[in-house]
Amino acid sequence: MRMVDLIIKKRDGHELSDEEIRFWVNGYTKGEIPDYQSSAMQMAIVFRGMSKREVSTLTDAMEHSGEVLDLSMLKGVKVDKHSTGGVGDKTSLVLGPMVAACGATLAKLSGRGLGHTGGTLDKLESIPGVTIAIEGQRFVDQVNRIGCAIVGQTASLVPADKKMYALRDVTGTVESIPLIAASVMSKKLASGADTILLDVTVGEGAFMKNMDDARELANIMVEIGNRLGRDTRAVLSDMSEPLGKAVGNALEVKEAIAALHGEGPEDLMELCYTAGSIMLQQAKVFKTKEEGRKALVECIKNGKAFEKFCLMIEAQGGDLSYILHPEKFELAKHIVDVKAEQDGYVKELEALEIGVSSMKLGGGRETLEDVIDMSAGIMLNKKIGDYVKKGETLCTIHTNKPESEYLPIIEDIKHAYVIVKEKVEARPVIKEIIEK
Ligand code: URA
């Protein structure tokens, strides 16, 4: 078999056989097929797409390119959740302890942020002392004792995705439904959980810009998971504006702590309650979502979810005093309000622009080698549907960059806000639920 023939076959719109897909994935993972041929194949897939069978085989080949975890030594039904990425998305930090407090077992492997999207691991590491490198028996003990752990993926898990994703990132081939589906599902399947809840984000700040694409992606992933015996469901959530009010690592951790105290922003809490009630049903803790939702509301009220979060942070080496006294988190040198230049209603708050601006303020990385400034980011004071008066604060930037660097970013942020005279309704965060 020659890789060039497979590229031509896909370029001309034909289906690849299972054997051909495995030849590509295995050859590329082992370094026998070069980057340029793999990227040509990925670009052909961007243009020509893949059949359901091809996506399923690609997922399977990627899943088995490295270690596949066996979580059978963990007690109970193991639930997992994955977001396709967004701005201000601290859901896992809140939802993980919530579902654990209600009796589910969450053994979650998370990723780092890149570009305008944040990563749960970076957020966790903004808490002094926290380690995400927990493996083997320590991981098993933590999950069995507390019911939740959020740790980093080991290098041996789905090596094909590591290479392919890095290549896609620099060759304009990230936005492809079959490639995203295989990337996400290969990691989720290899991580070993019994059930998977996918949060497929939709809007300018997400990979899927419209509902049709988001639905198609969600349906493919749900079908792959269920066919392989994992109860897989999806929530389609809005990512046209950032989730919650905080964007940036330590700022988001503080918002997550507030949420666990019952003081979270409405959209974040709604996503946590909706996703959590599905996860508790998947875990068979409750028969109905209504029962699950009631328990989730209760675990916030009675402090049990916050308690779980504290136990998880402590088990992962974190300094609890920061969680109990969030005012201890170091603040950035410059904290500057961005003011509205006119009266009106916020019609748009472009998540992509806010994510990129937060990254430029120091809160994110352009390449995986960049070092993040944990204190940097943006606190949003006004979101879509809010009324604002001229001179009122739209949002506040937090940065250690000099004025010459942050002033142009403030201008970009002003452009992310579209303010109109007519009344605008807030957008619901949950757009659709897909269950088979
Ligand atoms: N998240 C992933 O893990 N993979 C993709 O391809 C896109 C989002």
Q: What is the CATH number of the domain that holds 26?
A: 1.20.970.10
CB atoms closer than 10 angstroms to residue 235: 23
| pLDDT the model gives residue 249 | 95
| pLDDT the model gives residue 392 | 98
| pLDDT the model gives residue 113 | 73
b vs e for 75-103, b when ≥16 Cβ sit within 10 Å of the residue's Cβ?
ebbbbbbbbbbbbbbbbbbbbbbbbbbbb
Which letter does DSSP use for residue 361 in this model? I
User: What does the alpha-carbon distance between residue 197 and residue 84 come to, in Å, rounded to a whole number?
Assistant: 11
> Are the C-beta atoms of 178 and 55 separated by less than 8 Å?
yes
**Does 114 have pLDDT greater than 70?**
no
Mean pLDDT of the region 17-45: 97
For ligand 1, atom 7, which residue shows the shortest CA distance? 180
Position 433, amino acid: I
Residues 223 and 84 in one domain: yes
> Are the C-beta atoms of 92 and 271 separated by less than 8 Å?
no
For ligand 1, atom 5, which residue shows the shortest CA distance? 180
Residue 57 in any domain: the answer is: no
Residue whose CB lies within 8 A of the most ligand 1 atoms, among 180, 188, 207, 213, for a mutation test: 180
Residues 43 and 105 in one domain: no
Residue whose CB lies within 8 A of the most ligand 1 atoms, among 58, 183, 187, 224, for a mutation test: 183
Residues 278 and 342 in one domain: no
Residues 192 and 111 in one domain: yes
| pLDDT the model gives residue 155 | 78
Which ligand 1 atom is at minimum distance from the Cα of 165? 6
Cα-flanking dihedrals φ and ψ of residue 405, to 5°?
-90, -35
Which ligand 1 atom is at minimum distance from the Cα of 174? 6
How far away, in angstroms, is 43 Cα from ligand 1 center?
A: 16
pLDDT band per the 50, 70, 90 thresholds, residue 40? very high
Choose the final residue of a domain: 324, 341, 359.
324
User: What does the alpha-carbon distance between residue 247 and residue 237 come to, in Å, rounded to a whole number?
Assistant: 17
Contacts of 235 (CB under 8 A, 6+ apart): 197, 198, 199, 200, 271, 274, 275, 278, 430, 432, 433, 434
CA neighbor of 353 nearest in space, from 108, 87, 119: 87
* Bridge partners for 338 per DSSP: 395
Strand order in the sheet with 417-420: 387-388, 344-349, 417-420
Residues 268 and 207 in one domain: yes
Residues 244 and 290 in one domain: yes
User: What does the alpha-carbon distance between residue 143 and residue 104 come to, in Å, rounded to a whole number?
Assistant: 10
pLDDT band per the 50, 70, 90 thresholds, residue 70? confident
> Are the C-beta atoms of 163 and 28 separated by less than 8 Å?
yes
Active centre residues (catalytic): 82, 161, 168, 183, 187
Mean pLDDT of the region 163-191: 91
**Does 117 have pLDDT greater than 80?**
no
**Tokens encoding 61:** 């080949």
> Are the C-beta atoms of 120 and 315 separated by less than 8 Å?
no
Position 386, amino acid: D
| pLDDT the model gives residue 134 | 85
Residue 432 in any domain: the answer is: no
> Are the C-beta atoms of 381 and 395 separated by less than 8 Å?
yes
C-alpha separations of 3 from 9, 16, 45, 54, 233 in Å = 10, 12, 14, 16, 35
How far away, in angstroms, is 84 Cα from ligand 1 center?
A: 6
How far away, in angstroms, is 83 Cα from ligand 1 center?
A: 9
| pLDDT the model gives residue 136 | 82
Residues 131 and 258 in one domain: yes
CA neighbor of 43 nearest in space, from 155, 168, 161: 168
| pLDDT the model gives residue 368 | 67
Domain harbouring 371, CATH code: 3.90.1170.30
CA neighbor of 218 nearest in space, from 268, 226, 410: 226
Average pLDDT taken over every residue of the chain: 94
Residues 315 and 339 in one domain: no
Residue 429 in any domain: the answer is: no
**Tokens encoding 48:** 């020509």
**Does 41 have pLDDT greater than 90?**
yes
How far away, in angstroms, is 414 Cα from ligand 1 center?
A: 29
Number of domains in the chain: 3
Q: What range defines the domain where residue 27 resides?
A: 3-49
> Are the C-beta atoms of 240 and 431 separated by less than 8 Å?
no
Mean pLDDT of the region 305-324: 97
Mean pLDDT of the region 322-331: 97
Domain harbouring 137, CATH code: 3.40.1030.10
CB atoms closer than 10 angstroms to residue 234: 27
Which ligand 1 atom is at minimum distance from the Cα of 180? 6
pLDDT band per the 50, 70, 90 thresholds, residue 282? very high
**Does 48 have pLDDT greater than 90?**
yes
| pLDDT the model gives residue 119 | 86
**Does 264 have pLDDT greater than 80?**
yes
CB atoms closer than 10 angstroms to residue 130: 21
Number of H helices, E strands in the chain: 17, 13
